[in-house]
Amino acid sequence: MIPAIRIAGVTKRFRSLQALAGVDLEVAQGEFFGLLGPNGAGKTTLISSLAGLARPDSGTLEVMGHDVVKAYRQARLALGVVPQELVFDPFFSVREMLRLQSGYFGIRNNDDWIDEILHHLDLTSKAAANMRMLSGGMKRRALVAQALVHRPPVIVLDEPTAGVDVELRQGLWQFIRKLNQDGHTIVLTTHYLEEAETLCGRIAMLKAGKVVALDTTANLLQRFASHTLRVSLAGTVTLPPALAAKVLAMEGKALTLGFESFDEVADLLAGVRSAGGQVVDMALGKPDMEQVFVGIMNQN
């Protein structure tokens, strides 16, 4: 099957900044794919290159098998992009804007689908409102609606939940998940690592314009994260080397220790006690994407 997205050897330089330093990536059809990385890692440049908003210096990008430069019409028809910035055209109402966007993609009389999107994004009552009158969250949903007017098989969301409240975020994810279940390929960039962990089947991590990790979410968690035991102590302690090696973080009198199996917990606590530590509080933590992210970014 043709991959939904194929990126091969893509480089892009902005003056002295090497934004993309040879990116290779494939996203299969139907995947929910996460693209993570710190600010300036190249995520938005990569998405812009895919959407034709930026032109790579070398390499190729394809959407559903269509080269984004040579066959840009087909590639753009197959792609829906929700941009990171909260942009809107102040001249038009929500419905006008969606009709115009449909027309840009060559679709006339798209009102049935527009109504459906508005319904799913809880914007039906705002269809006639000018874009200026919408709250930030509504504008964000309107941007999602805009990306969907031409029913693209591949949808890219560039930090769609930045600055969005919890309720709206959950509503948005419910809808995006439904789209994914209906067969749409979803590519997501986000700084909320929990979101990526929960939603994405596979994740790529970018750093300084390079892919530094690419695997299924489960494998990444298994390889780079462990269960944690966080203990708060009454005073400071000096741990024996074997135990000190398991310390993931130390903040004041609180220690975070990593472990693989729950059988180890009793030994860890015993070790702390033997070293003279008096435990006043403790908490267990599951492996999470934040550990993976920090681990990988520090490794590279």
Nearest distance, CB of residue 105 and other proteins, angstroms: 5
Per CB under 8 A, 70 contacts other proteins: no
> Token match 């006690």: residue?
273
Residues in region 100-119 near other proteins by CB under 8 A: 100-108
Residues in region 9-38 near other proteins by CB under 8 A: 14
Nearest distance, CB of residue 35 and other proteins, angstroms: 18
Which region, judged by CB under 8 A, interacts with other proteins, from 70-78, 181-189, 222-230, 277-285?
70-78
Per CB under 8 A, 95 contacts other proteins: no
Question: Using CA atoms, how far apart are residues 47 and 35, in angstroms rounded to an integer?
Answer: 10
The residue among 126 and 150 lying less far from other proteins, judged by its C-beta, is 150
Query: Which residues does 166 contact at the CB level (< 8 Å), separation at least 6?
Result: none
Tokens of 185: 């390929």
Residue 58 CB neighbours (<10 A): 12
Beta strands in the chain, from DSSP E residues, in sequence order: 5-14, 17-27, 32-36, 58-63, 66-67, 79-82, 154-158, 185-189, 202-207, 210-216, 227-233, 247-251, 254-259, 279-285
Question: Using CA atoms, how far apart are residues 86 and 293, in angstroms rounded to an integer?
Answer: 27
Size of the site for other proteins (CB under 8 A): 36
Per CB under 8 A, 136 contacts other proteins: no
Tokens of 51: 């959407």
Per CB under 8 A, 6 contacts other proteins: no
Per CB under 8 A, 87 contacts other proteins: yes
Which of 18, 74, 232, 256 is in the footprint of other proteins by CB under 8 A? 74
Which region, judged by CB under 8 A, interacts with other proteins, from 46-54, 218-226, 254-262, 287-295?
46-54
Per CB under 8 A, 262 contacts other proteins: no
- The CA dihedral of 25, 28, 32, 34, to the nearest 10 degrees, is 0
Per CB under 8 A, 88 contacts other proteins: yes
Q: How would you list the strands of the sheet with 202-207, edge to edge?
A: 79-82, 154-158, 185-189, 32-36, 202-207, 210-216
Contact positions vs other proteins (CB under 8 A): 14, 45, 48, 51-55, 72-74, 76-77, 79, 81, 83, 85, 87-92, 96-97, 100-108, 146, 150
